[in-house]
Amino acid sequence: MTAWRRAAALARKDLLLEWRGRETITAMAGLALLVVLLLGFVLGAEAARAPAILWVALLLAATLGVSRWTQAEVEQQALETLLLYPGSREHIYWGKWGALTLLLTVLLGLLLAAIGLLFNVDLWARFPLLLGAGLLGIAGLSAVGTLFAALLIPVRGRELLMPLLLLPVELPVLLGGVRLTEAILTGSPGGGLWLGVLAVFDILFLLVAPVLYTVVLEEA
């Protein structure tokens, strides 16, 4: 089996599990909507605040989803079976990463729709650009998220530790995402720099995380 097919099979397995239960996406979408509603009400729903609120909601909701991302493996004791399959363990990483990226992209789509409706921002004309910027952030988010989800398997109280580890590391994604979204919405310059920040973050951690993932799985 080629690397691509192994990764795709794993991503399909994770997405099928999610599709049958739809637990993670429901919880993430619920939390994201709550953050948007609460921040929008407390801070005031001006269009200028929309990018910051969008990314904070995305990041917090993603943390919730990431800490559940190895739940099936842990609860059903399926990890041993997964590790017994022949072939490189990096393929497991890419499968998990792909599925998480897709899941978070669905969340981003829902969030963009909610922001567009609730904040009276005209984002439909720039929807492809906004989705692209979001994807760039999500790629890095799930690059580190996939690694930490596996890393925390043998750690006591892993759901508690996940936000503590993930949020400080993901700070560049948050800042880059906010500024890039602002630049797209207002047409102001400076977007290029943040495109660069997000791209560097993605490339760096997509190179490093799969290698460290094999170390982590040996300990899981």
Partner 1 sequence: MRLLLTLVGAATAVLLAAGLYFGLVASPPDAFQGDYVRIMYVHVPSAFAAYLAAGTVFVASLLYLWRGRALYDHVAHSATELATLFTGLALAGGMIWGKPVWGTWWAWDARLVTTAMLFLIFAGALMVRELVEDRQRGARLAAVVGIIGALDVPLIHYSVVWFRTLHQAPSITRGEIKMAPPMVAALLVNLLAFAALYLYLLLQRVRLERLEAARSAGIEP
User: 189 CB contacts (<8 Å, ≥6 apart)?
Assistant: 183
Three-class HEC string of 91-103: HHHHHHHHHHHHH
> In terms of CB distance, is 33 or 79 closer to partner 1?
79
How near is the Cβ of 156 to partner 1 at its closest, in Å?
A: 4
- Which residues are near partner 1 by CB under 8 A? 144, 147, 151-152, 154-157, 161, 164-165, 168-169, 171-172, 175-176, 178-179, 190, 193-194, 197, 200-201, 204-205, 208-209, 212, 215-216, 218-219
Whether 153 contacts 74, CB under 8 Å: yes
> In terms of CB distance, is 86 or 157 closer to partner 1?
157
Tokens of 150: 């596996």
Length of the chain measured in residues: 220
Q: Is 44 exposed, middle or buried (0-12, 13-18, 19+ CB in 10 A)?
A: exposed
> In terms of CB distance, is 36 or 152 closer to partner 1?
152
> In terms of CB distance, is 64 or 169 closer to partner 1?
169
How near is the Cβ of 169 to partner 1 at its closest, in Å?
A: 5
